[in-house]
Structure 1
Amino acid sequence: MDTTVALSEGRRRRRMHSAEFKAHIVAACCQPGVSSASVAMANGINANLVRRWVKEAEAAREIERGSAASEAQKACPATTPTPTPTPRFLPLPMPTAAAPIAADIRIELQRGATTIAVTWPVSAASDCAAWMRELLR
């Protein structure tokens, strides 16, 4: 795998990568559970460049559909979209009788070693809320 550096007349340097190196990188990106950023970091190249190579390989696959694929396309069958599984609904048993509703509101307040338990009827829940607001002011 060849990565050569071509020097031009100024400050900029441009690395030239061989086709087999690009094919190797694209194939590595197509492995399940592998991110293109991790492949780029492992090979010392920019993640945007790797993503561009993957896109170019996918575009070439679309152009050459039906004909012999290039080396990078053979190594990357995962670029074709896989169908998502349809969700299945499972029946859940429902209780036959309704759960009993609590007849009272029970509040326990603790301050230091003192604990106070207050029981309030559910039918007067709004009065209980007003009492709690006053208590907590």
Structure 2
Amino acid sequence: MQPGVSIAAIALHHRLNANLLRRWVAEQEAKNGAPEDRELMRVPQGEFIPLRIGEPTTAVPDIQIEVRRGATTISLRLLICTES
């Protein structure tokens, strides 16, 4: 195996089950006893970078209902309280 090679991609290319191929590779590595090679194949883990996220500024629209019947119109406007 070469560093950075995807076992799943190799399995897919050769129409093999990826889990079965991974088991075969692990068994072969255990037989060969080459921990240096396995160490070379590991991908370094990325660093955690904290992000500052401000308070969400979601505007809640008011609810407005308008009912018309003939010449009569009734309007109702409801204000939304966002403190709860």
| Bucket of the pairwise TM-score, normalised by the shorter protein | 0.3 to 0.5
Instruction: Considering fraction of residues, name the structure with more helix.
Output: 1
TM-score by length of 2: 0.42
State the structure with more CA Rg. 1
Q: Which has the higher contact order (CA 8 A, sep 6+)?
A: 2
TM-score by length of 1: 0.32
